[in-house]
């Protein structure tokens, strides 16, 4: 049996207004009507729906209680929830207080109601494609941006940034301090990429300490060089004075062995479509991951640019060569 991907919650089973029914039909969703909060949570936790329409025009307490349960659980809280309420003066505030993402009052002009429901879904989709801690674009947006650049035909670079010795830092200083370092790195990447490339720069957060930024090919030396240089200035001040002065601390590596752990560094792997033909976001991501892995094998904060070629014809208008700016290792 196909799982529903939309829910109508109506304890009294009253018919919905025609324009609301038409909007639901336009979403091409598989809708189930429920009247029990337990059923709502059971289905919501099994197959997170695209949206839930709560009908509180006649019955409010049980509807608001069910809505509160949906918004209280971290898994179902991201589901966009709209409440149909009566014209009573306090009905709108009560619905929002219960956790509604949008409220449609009984008698609202149908065109306005539909636009509000559309806006609710747009907001929800926008919120889901950004990373909650850094507010940077997530994996789906990263793939879409790479696809857009491939379609444009311009020369660009996909840069995969990853922290070295971050796990050991987290273990020693707590995950709160680790999150703070991730936010610092996110801010650094954003400021340098946007400050150098403007709207031609893109920054995404895969998760943890893994980031992707996409820039024009000609911007590789200036952007990556500034990022690794600035990170090396900032990183020591994330440690205690004792660890900073020593330049290391004693901690356990991934195999559980006690050893000297150096201060964090930053590795950036860069792949471009200058010498090879990139055909998909997946391929670009795989190549950037290879280059990031190679960069992590080198000492210190570095960026490495993939020089390998698929014997692509050299462009008629030669682009400036990438010069070594800061600790650059290259794969020929």
For residues 107 and 191, membership in a common domain is answered with no
Which pLDDT value is given to residue 254? 66
Lowest pLDDT segment from 34-48, 52-66, 94-108, 222-236: 34-48
Indicate whether 256 pLDDT > 80.
no
For residues 60 and 176, membership in a common domain is answered with no
Lowest pLDDT segment from 39-53, 91-105, 146-160, 216-230: 39-53
CATH of the domain at 173: 3.30.70.270
Which pLDDT value is given to residue 5? 85
For residues 21 and 121, membership in a common domain is answered with yes
Please say whether the beta carbons of 139 and 204 come within 8 A: yes
Domain presence at residue 121: yes
For residues 42 and 185, membership in a common domain is answered with no
Indicate whether 185 pLDDT > 80.
yes
Residue 302, classified by CB atoms within 10 Å of its CB into exposed (0-12), middle (13-18) or buried (19+), is buried
Local confidence band at 282 (pLDDT 50, 70, 90 cut-offs): very high
Domain count, the chain: 2
Domain presence at residue 67: yes
Which pLDDT value is given to residue 84? 97
Percentage of the residues of the chain whose pLDDT score is greater than 90: 73
For residues 244 and 320, membership in a common domain is answered with yes
How far apart (Å, rounded) are the C-alpha atoms in residues 331 and 208? 27
Which of residues 128, 155, 184 is at a domain's end? 128
For residues 181 and 302, membership in a common domain is answered with yes
Which pLDDT value is given to residue 319? 42
Please say whether the beta carbons of 231 and 185 come within 8 A: yes
Domain presence at residue 1: no
Domain presence at residue 289: yes
For residues 60 and 111, membership in a common domain is answered with yes
For residues 170 and 100, membership in a common domain is answered with no
For residues 244 and 323, membership in a common domain is answered with yes
Which of residues 82, 98, 128 is at a domain's end? 128
Domain presence at residue 133: no
For residues 146 and 69, membership in a common domain is answered with no
Q: How many CB atoms are closer than 10 A to CB 131?
A: 19
For residues 108 and 160, membership in a common domain is answered with no
CATH of the domain at 23: 3.40.50.2300
Mean pLDDT for the stretch of residues 152-163: 96
Which of residues 128, 157, 175 is at a domain's end? 128
Stated length of the chain: 332
Domain presence at residue 134: no
For residues 123 and 158, membership in a common domain is answered with no
Which pLDDT value is given to residue 210? 96
Indicate whether 131 pLDDT > 80.
no
Residue span of the structural domain in which 305 resides: 139-331
End-to-end CA distance of the chain: 54
Mean pLDDT score across all residues of the chain: 89
């Amino acid at each position: 049996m196909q799982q529903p991907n939309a829910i109508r919650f109506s304890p009294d089973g009253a018919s919905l207004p025609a324009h609301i029914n038409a909007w639901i039909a336009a979403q091409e969703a598989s809708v189930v009507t429920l009247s029990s909060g337990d059923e709502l949570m059971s289905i919501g936790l099994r197959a997170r729906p695209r949206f839930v329409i709560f009908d509180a025009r006649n019955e409010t307490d049980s509807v608001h209680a069910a809505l509160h349960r949906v918004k209280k659980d971290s898994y179902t809280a991201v589901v966009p929830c709209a409440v149909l309420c009566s014209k009573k003066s306090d009905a709108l505030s009560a619905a929002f207080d219960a956790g509604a993402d949008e409220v449609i009052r009984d008698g609202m002009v149908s065109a306005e109601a539909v636009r509000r429901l559309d806006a609710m879904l747009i907001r929800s989709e926008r919120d889901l494609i950004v990373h909650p801690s850094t507010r940077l674009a997530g994996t789906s947006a990263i793939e879409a941006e790479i696809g857009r650049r491939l379609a444009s035909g311009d020369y660009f670079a996909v840069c995969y940034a990853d922290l070295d010795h971050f796990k050991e830092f987290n273990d020693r200083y707590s995950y709160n301090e680790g999150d703070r370092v991730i936010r610092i790195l996110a801010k650094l990447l954003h400021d340098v990429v946007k400050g150098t490339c403007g709207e031609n720069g893109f920054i995404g957060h895969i998760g943890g300490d893994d980031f992707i930024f996409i820039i024009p090919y000609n911007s590789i030396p200036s952007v990556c060089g500034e990022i690794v240089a600035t990170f090396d200035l900032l990183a020591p001040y994330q440690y205690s004075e004792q660890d900073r002065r020593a330049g290391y601390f004693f901690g356990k590596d991934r195999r559980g062995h006690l050893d000297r752990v150096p201060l964090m560094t930053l590795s950036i792997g860069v792949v471009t479509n200058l010498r090879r033909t990139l055909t998909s976001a997946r391929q670009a991501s795989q190549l950037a991951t290879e280059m990031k892995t190679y960069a992590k094998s080198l000492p210190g904060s570095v960026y490495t640019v993939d020089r390998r070629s698929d014997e692509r014809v050299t462009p008629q208008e030669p682009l400036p060569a990438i010069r070594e700016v800061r600790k650059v290792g290259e794969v020929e």
